[in-house]
A and B are shown apart, each in its own frame.
Chain A
C-alpha cells in the first residue's frame, strides 16, 4: 500500500541557508502534519493543514513556513538555518474523517543536517 512519501531523505545545509522539505500524503488523505525530532528527543508538532488551510500550529519557528497545495502535498520551508535545526523532520497524513477515525500515517522522515 502507498505510504507517506518524504523528500529528500537526507539534506545537508550550511548555517543561514534555506531548505525545502516535501511531503506527499497517502492518496485521498487531505490532512498533513509536520513534526521535528531532534537527536534523542520526542517528536515536536510544528504545524498541520486540512484541505489546504492551516489547521493547528505548534512550536514552529517564525523562520519556518509551510503550505499545502491543491494536490494535497505539502512543503516545509526553512530559512536562516541554525545548527539547532538539525533534526529528523516527519510528515504524517490522515483522512478527512479526522484523527478519531483516520489514524496518522508517518513518513520515514527527512534528516536535515546543518553545518
Chain B
C-alpha cells in the first residue's frame, strides 16, 4: 500500500531562515504527491502537488517541493520563513490511481518559528 513518512515530528527554524521538511513515499509507480498545511483547529490547505512533468513544483506562500524518484522523496522547501508559517505540515499520497481515491497522509511535521 502507498505510504508516506515524515521523519521529523518537530522542526524549529528562526524567522528569515530557510526551511526544508522531509517526506519519503513508498509506491510502485509514479505517485501523486501533495503537501498540505494545517493551522490549529483549521482545515487543510493545499500548498502544492506533483503528478508528473517538472520535478520542481512551485506552490503557494513561497513554498516549493522537489520530486526525486531515486530517493523516493518529495521534500518541501522555503527560502525564508515567516512567523505565520508556524503550523502543521502534512505530506500525502493518493491511495490508488487517482480519480476519487482518498489520500494517505504522513504523521505530520510541526513547524515552530523562533523570533
Contacts and interface: CB of A to CB of B under 8 A. Distances in A.
Interface of A: 4, 31, 33, 35, 41-50, 55-56, 58, 90, 92, 94, 98-100, 103-109, 111
Contact of B99 (A43, A47, A50, A107): A50
Contact of A48 (B34, B51, B100, B107): B100
Interface SS of chain A: helix, strand, loop or mixed?
strand
Contacts of A92: 44
Nearest to B108: A42
A92 B94 CA distance: 14
Contact of A49 (B95, B100, B107): B100
A115 to B, nearest CB: 20
A88 to B, nearest CB: 8
B43 A55 contact: no
Contacts of B32: 99-100
B100 A99 contact: yes
6 contacts: A33-B103, A41-B107, A43-B103, A98-B98, A99-B100, A105-B46
A31 B41 CA distance: 24
A98 B98 CA distance: 7
B90 A55 contact: no
Contacts of B99: 50, 55, 98-100
Contacts of B101: 48, 55-56, 99
Contacts of A106: 36, 43-45
Contact of A43 (B51, B90, B94): B90
Given A43-B105, A100-B51, A50 B100 contact: yes
